[in-house]
Amino acid sequence: MPTVPEALALMDYGPAPESPAIALDWLKDRAFGHFINGAFTKPGETFAVTNPASGAELAQVTQGTDDDVAEAVKSARAAAKGWAKLTGGQRARYLYALARLMQKRERLFAVLETLDNGKPIRESRDIDVPLAVRHFYHHAGWAELLADEFPGMRPHGVCGQIIPWNFPLLMLAWKVAPALAAGNTVVLKPAEFTPLTALLFAELCVEAGLPKGVVNIVTGDGRTGAALVAAEVDKIAFTGSTDVGRLIRRETAGSGKALTLELGGKSPFIVFAEADLDAAVEGVVDAIWFNQGEVCCAGSRILVQEQVAERFTARLKLRMAKLRLGDPLDKSTDIGAVVHPTQLERIRGLVDKAIAQGAILHQAPMPEGPGSFCPPGLLTDLGAANIAHTEEIFGPIVTLMTFRTPGEAVELANNTRYGLAASIWSENITTALDIAGQVKAGVVWINGTNMFDANAPFGGMRESGFGREGAREGMLAYLTGDEASGKERKAPEALSPLPGSATGDAVDRTRKLYIGGAQKRPDGGYSYAVPGAQVPMGSRKDIRNAVEAAHKASGWSKVTGHNRAQVLYFLAENIAARGKDLGPKDEVALAVERAFYWAAWADKYDGRVHSTASANITLALKEPFGVMGVICPEEAPLLGFVSTVLPAIAMGNRVVAVPSQSNPVPALDLYQVFDTSDLPGGVVNIVTGPRAELTDTLAKHDDVAALWVFAEPETCRLAETLSAGNLKPVWTEARQRDWSGPAGQSRSFLRRAVQVKTVWVPYGA
Ligand code: NDP
């Protein structure tokens, strides 16, 4: 025992272990089956769940089979009607009860989570469990307000939910609470490594008197997850790796199942010269050394401005050396155990590759076992193509690069296929907000990092997935009610290509494509005949050219809504002026009304300021995707085109549109209207031709950020399957819409034309 002066000189921490007894007692003599229809099933074939800090077995848990999943889905289906029929207020009571019961068992949940996952007790106790509780409280409120706030919407039905191992209880709360609030029932599959807190939660469902079958939990590995994806569910909500997300996108294509994906990230942590460097160093601790770096939105790429890089790096190394790695149950531990030896191996493998590619690793030596421990690490001297910069390591390893100008910072920040989060550190509010507007990320923290709240939308752009969790925006992912209800669409007749112009006239009257604000002949030089006209037979190459033109028209996404509205009003007037040249009188009249309608929205579909549980203004901004593809409906050639293309551009997107195949003439004739309406070239591009083939190219194109497909089922399925490449969100509608009625100007067109960027700005702190 050191004397007081010695202790003061050392300033070391004494051990402060939390007892595991409360969780071990709960685990003792428990045999875990699945939780189906309000009760635990008998255990089937089981596997061991271990404590990553020691390797010791904690429990045996059942491997879910296809039959188990089917049984759970059946139970959820049987419960769905009754649960949806309850009033929002009645459902809210159950959610409040669950929140309170979780609160009562906070300690048990925290200790169990730490034993199962390896995360420090400080984090499970102060972050995971309180946030999970907050999610249930918050969503109880949404249940209460559902009818008022989401009129005309209804639950999907049965939701299959698959969650990862990094925040087992919190991810459960993110998935289950909004689903139940909206009136869905659920089948949840926790991760193989960390199923225990979900099983404890199942007991709370019984205690809360939740109707049987509303929540079902099936444990198992990826095979169980795959069975759930294939099962008769109405929606899949997945959090996990981008590879599995891609697989699920393909598996669910054409099934009509709603899908939200929250996937990986490689989030930049940008430090400007004028930043409070000490705060930024502390920020790195929270960004990448929190939860052992096993965080999808971890700030895993530090970008620091050159003139402060040396100072910053020196301070960072000092701070890193002081982090305490060890027993996750010790309250003064900063970094606990990595979830599983396989994950530790994966981290080591990626770091070895990064070193082989020239990076320098700064890290304390790996401790000897038992347990899967990985000291915090910093990789420097690496190029932008180094694997540590491109691949999600999902461990406590951060990379560091420098930049000179803000422009270079943005370029480096966006030089990734992901788009989940970004942290920006600057004491200059102009710089910070300017950069926030330019980074491609679903969540941006200014002078902060890894802040979460049930009332802050969370989710990604690009290959980090689509859909939001939390807040009003997250509720929308669990509701439906805007789908078309008309006849199923049929494929248009196959086209017979004709070389060049085949009208036989001396003057070539073949219509042309409209690309980059100019009329273009199709690349292949072919056309096809429609009643009264020859129209171009567009091909892959034409789509690529159109995407390039749309890409170049990026100024449109930056102009104000007011400016866009003016152009659209002018466009509406010019459609009216062209009148019957464009199509039947009634359809033209409706198209004019529709154009005025979308013009009116251009500066009004704005974001929100969310009230979160910390001193921030949390902005939920609605940003355009960038370049969108729109496969317009075959029916209503003019009105369908105007109803789909105009909301997309009103929100600031640039569009590559494929009009009705059998009658694209009204859409092609609009080029003169566009030209006279001050619409910048490249904002709307029109490619006519074989829709399925053109959809194929748009769906695969990496530079197309979102796709709408109003087409027959097979083309819808094709679009969803092929979109898995860059994981663009795809809105497909295989049933006809009544374009002349309110369905033709549903609010969902606006909602699907934007992606939410959540920006956390310090305020009043
Ligand atoms: P996965 O994406 O494999 O796991 C996420 C969830 O999906 C788990 O419940 C998993 O089951 C399940 N699953 C696995 N395969 C399928 C499938 N074919 N169909 C349906 N569900 C499936 O992530 P891992 O756990 O394998 O981790 C690998 C890497 O993924 C990590 O190193 C990290 O880079 C990244 N990752 C990212 C996360 C994020 O939040 N962005 C979260 C977790 C991992 P089970 O675990 O039982 O096999």
469 within 8 A of 170, measured Cβ to Cβ: no
259 bridge partner residues: 236
- Pick from 69, 244, 290, 727 the residue to mutate for probing ligand 1's pocket: most ligand atoms within 8 Å of its CB: 244
267 within 8 A of 441, measured Cβ to Cβ: yes
* Residue-wise pLDDT tens digits, 659-688: 999 999 999 999 999 999 999 999 999 999
Q: Which atom of ligand 1 is nearest to the CA of 163?
A: 9
* SS3 label, residue 490: coil
CA–centroid distance, residue 264 to ligand 1 (Å): 10
Q: Determine how many CB atoms are found less than 10 A away from the CB of residue 373.
A: 23
Q: Which atom of ligand 1 is nearest to the CA of 391?
A: 34
CA distance 475 to 496: 47
* Residue-wise pLDDT tens digits, 730-751: 999 999 999 999 999 999 999 9
Average pLDDT over residues 13-30: 94
Q: pLDDT confidence of 304, banded at 50, 70, 90?
A: very high
655 bridge partner residues: 628, 684
Residue environment code for 310-331, b if the CB has 16+ CB neighbours within 10 A, otherwise e: eebbebbeebbeeeebbbbbbe
* Residue-wise pLDDT tens digits, 46-104: 999 999 999 999 999 999 999 999 999 999 999 999 999 999 999 999 999 999 999 99
CA–centroid distance, residue 166 to ligand 1 (Å): 10
Alpha carbon of residue 435 to chain centroid: 21
* Residue-wise pLDDT tens digits, 521-560: 999 999 999 988 999 999 999 999 999 999 999 999 999 9
For the record, the structure tokens of 394 come out as: 């999902």
pLDDT at 501 over 70: no
Residue environment code for 620-657, b if the CB has 16+ CB neighbours within 10 A, otherwise e: bbbbbbbbbbbbbbbbbbbbbbbbbbbbbbbbbbbbbb
Any atom of ligand 1 within 6 Å of the Cβ of 189: yes
pLDDT at 656 over 90: yes
For the record, the structure tokens of 328 come out as: 């996750």
The three state secondary structure string of 527-555 is EEEECCEEEECCCHHHHHHHHHHHHHCCH
57 bridge partner residues: 50
Average pLDDT over residues 298-302: 98
Residue indicated by tokens 């430090």: 271
For the record, the structure tokens of 351 come out as: 């770091």
CA–centroid distance, residue 221 to ligand 1 (Å): 9
Q: pLDDT confidence of 472, banded at 50, 70, 90?
A: very high
Q: What pTM was computed for the model?
A: 0.96
Residues 6+ apart with CB under 8 A from 379: 351, 354, 355, 359, 360, 361, 362, 386, 388, 397, 398, 399, 400
Residues 6+ apart with CB under 8 A from 219: 32, 34, 61, 62, 63, 64, 189, 190, 192, 195, 198, 199
Any atom of ligand 1 within 6 Å of the Cβ of 164: yes
CA distance 341 to 338: 7
Any atom of ligand 1 within 6 Å of the Cβ of 263: yes
Any atom of ligand 1 within 6 Å of the Cβ of 225: yes
* Residue-wise pLDDT tens digits, 414-466: 999 999 999 999 999 999 999 999 999 999 999 999 999 999 999 999 999 99
CA–centroid distance, residue 32 to ligand 1 (Å): 22
pLDDT at 504 over 80: no
Q: Which atom of ligand 1 is nearest to the CA of 221?
A: 47
- The percent of residues in the chain predicted with pLDDT above 90, rounded, is 93
Kind and range of the H or E run holding 465: strand 465-466
pLDDT value at residue 497: 83
Any atom of ligand 1 within 6 Å of the Cβ of 222: yes
- Which residue type occupies 388? A
Average pLDDT over residues 295-309: 98
Residue indicated by tokens 């491609």: 440
Q: pLDDT confidence of 510, banded at 50, 70, 90?
A: confident
Task: Respond yes or no: is residue 262 known to be catalytic.
Answer: yes
pLDDT value at residue 505: 52
Q: pLDDT confidence of 508, banded at 50, 70, 90?
A: low
Q: Mutual orientation of helices 129-149 and 168-182 as an angle, nearest 10°?
A: 10
pLDDT at 12 over 80: no
Mean pLDDT (the chain, rounded): 96
Any atom of ligand 1 within 6 Å of the Cβ of 226: yes
User: Catalytic pick from 113, 262, 587, 634?
Assistant: 262
Residue with the smallest CA separation from ligand 1 atom 14 is: 222
Any atom of ligand 1 within 6 Å of the Cβ of 191: yes
pLDDT at 502 over 70: no
Q: pLDDT confidence of 193, banded at 50, 70, 90?
A: very high
* Residue-wise pLDDT tens digits, 549-607: 999 999 999 999 999 999 999 999 999 999 888 999 999 999 999 999 999 999 999 99
pLDDT at 507 over 80: no
pLDDT value at residue 282: 98
CA–centroid distance, residue 687 to ligand 1 (Å): 39
Kind and range of the H or E run holding 594: helix 585-601
Exposed (0-12), middle (13-18) or buried (19+): which is 519, by Cβ within 10 Å? middle
* Residue-wise pLDDT tens digits, 374-423: 999 999 999 989 999 999 999 999 999 999 999 999 999 999 999 999 99
